[in-house]
Amino acid sequence: MAKKYVNADGSANLKSFAELRRWQKERRAKKKDLSYVVPRVEPDLELLHGNRTEPTVTFIGHSTFLIQLGGLNIVTDPVWAKTMGVSPRLTAPGVAIEALPPIDVVLLSHAHYDHLHLGSLRRLPGDFVALVPDGLARWFRRRGFRRVQELSWWSETRVGEVTFGFVPAKHWTRRTPWDTNTSHWGGWVMRHGADCLYFAGDSGYDTVFRDIGARYGDIRVALLPIGAYEPEWFMGPSHMTPEEAVRTFADVGGRIFVPMHYDAFRLADDTPKEALDRLLAEWERLGLPRERLWTMPLGNTRLWSANETSIME
């Protein structure tokens, strides 16, 4: 019998059929404005292919980023899929998969389809190593990926000069009716010297973020989800609201906040505009410096360093 994984508080975040029916009934009664288009810019491909020294982050879409750190090209949750189930993608990826530089490391937060897409993995350029949560390596190896390393919460590994730590999140996972929570979920902390970046994956709010902040107290850039939160009574255990994302940012002690998980797929009832508006309203309510919030256009690349933070347009 396969091992079943749970959250730090012992929850499994499973919903009943009655709860699902209630949500779908509510959803049919809502009318949402989906006309807002997430901004995009032309990617700086010359920079992305030529850079092996400066730390950069490029927003591709949803939870997919290209991160350049310690001489490595790293991709998080690679999904270039045009649809999710029967729903079309709302925004095209900010960088075409064929335009990527050779990838050295793939980071997986969990096995949900909007984070783990086999077609995208097969098309990625480069002989990459996949760092995956506990319980997921077998899925990769059965599909021909041989360079796979499986990590449990709070464990670390090193690729080149970069240390990767797998840290907790509050979520769940399933790809078929028979594999619910048979692999784990979490986020990743990447460190090279004084440069430290945190990719939260997908999560509801939890006090475990304080533990991450206590262990990695010098996080420069935090990539945090802000979408798929409505209705909150249904989504709350698995997806944080924009306000909770700001709280998470404070818990982990981040310096730069980069929102994600709001632009590409309509997984819940909120819209990209609603998520961004609530994030900015909370940011302003707390009086936080606007330059520390990077609402990145798709395709945009930004540079950070341990001593100062700047923007590469």
Tell me how far apart the alpha carbons of residues 301 and 313 are, in angstroms, rounded to a whole number.
Answer: 7
Per-residue pLDDT, 304: 83
Residue 221 · residue 254 · CB < 8 Å: yes
98 backbone dihedrals φ, ψ, rounded to 5°: -70, -20
User: Which pair of structure tokens corresponds to residue 273?
Assistant: 């505009």
Across all residues in the chain, what is the average pLDDT?
Answer: 95
- For residue 207, with 0-12 CB atoms within 10 Å meaning exposed, 13-18 middle and 19 or more buried, which class applies? exposed
Q: Does 231 sit behind a cis peptide bond, omega within 30 degrees of 0 on the bond before it?
A: yes
Per the listing, tokens 């464990």 go with 155
Task: Identify each DSSP E strand in 35-168 by its residue range.
Answer: 56-61, 64-69, 72-76, 83-84, 87-88, 105-107, 129-133, 148-151, 156-159, 162-167
Tell me the mean pLDDT in the region 285-311: 84
Each residue's pLDDT tens digit, 188-200: 999 999 999 999 9
Tell me the mean pLDDT in the region 44-68: 97
Per-residue pLDDT, 85: 84
Tell me the mean pLDDT in the region 227-245: 97
Tell me the mean pLDDT in the region 110-129: 97
Q: Is the pLDDT of residue 137 over 80?
A: yes
User: Which pair of structure tokens corresponds to residue 174?
Assistant: 């399933």
pTM of the model: 0.96
Tell me the mean pLDDT in the region 166-187: 96
Q: Is the pLDDT of residue 143 over 70?
A: yes
Each residue's pLDDT tens digit, 61-102: 999 999 999 999 999 999 999 999 888 999 999 999 999 999
